Amino acid sequence: MEQEPTQIAPKQLIITADDVGLSEGINQAAHQLFCDGILTTVTMLMNFEATEHAMQLLGASPGLKAGVHLNLTDGYPLTDVPDGIGLTLSDGHFQPRTLLFPRSLFPSDDWKTAAEAEMKAQIEAFIAQRDQLPNHLTTHMHFHIMPSLREMVFRLADNYGIPWVRVYQTSSTIIPYNFWVQQPDQLFQPDNDNMTPDYLTSVQAWLTQDPSFLVKTLRSLTGMTEIVVHPSIEVDDTYPIEMSHPPQARFVEVGYIRQVVDLLREDEANFVISDPADDTPRHA
Domains (range + CATH), the chain: 11-283 (3.20.20.370)
CB 149 within 8 A of CB 121: no
Q: Which residues contact 30 (CB under 8 A, 6 or more apart)?
A: 17, 20, 39, 42, 54, 57, 231
Q: CA-to-CA distance for 273 and 253, rounded, in angstroms?
A: 19
SS3 237: coil
The overall pTM is greater than 0.85: yes
**pLDDT at residue number 192:** 54
Q: Which residues contact 122 (CB under 8 A, 6 or more apart)?
A: 46, 47, 68, 70, 71, 78
Walk along the chain (284 residues) and give the pLDDT tens digit of each residue: 444 444 456 788 999 999 999 999 999 999 999 999 999 999 999 999 999 999 999 988 888 999 999 999 999 999 999 999 999 999 999 999 999 999 999 999 999 999 999 999 999 999 999 999 999 999 999 999 999 999 999 999 999 999 999 999 888 899 998 888 876 655 555 555 667 888 999 999 999 999 999 999 999 888 899 999 999 999 999 999 999 999 999 999 999 999 999 999 998 778 888 777 665 556 66
Q: Which residues contact 129 (CB under 8 A, 6 or more apart)?
A: 51, 52, 55
Task: Report which of 117, 113, 82, 111 is spatially closest to residue 99, judged by C-alpha positions.
Answer: 111
**pLDDT at residue number 5:** 45
**pLDDT at residue number 1:** 47
CB 221 within 8 A of CB 174: yes
Residues 265, 226, 47, 162: what is their CA dihedral angle, to the nearest 10 degrees? 120
Strand ranges (E), 178-239: 199-202, 224-229
Q: Give the number of residues written for the chain.
A: 284
Greatest alpha-carbon pair distance for the chain in Å reads 77
CB 156 within 8 A of CB 126: no
Q: CA-to-CA distance for 184 and 55, rounded, in angstroms?
A: 35
**pLDDT at residue number 275:** 74
Residue type, position 6, single letter: T
CA 242 to mean position of chain CA atoms: 21
**pLDDT at residue number 4:** 47
What's the start-to-end Cα distance of the chain, in Å?
35
**pLDDT at residue number 193:** 60
**pLDDT at residue number 272:** 86
CB 77 within 8 A of CB 51: no
DSSP label of 94: B
Residues 20, 117, 143, 93: what is their CA dihedral angle, to the nearest 10 degrees? 70
Around Cβ 102, how many Cβ atoms within 10 Å?
Answer: 10
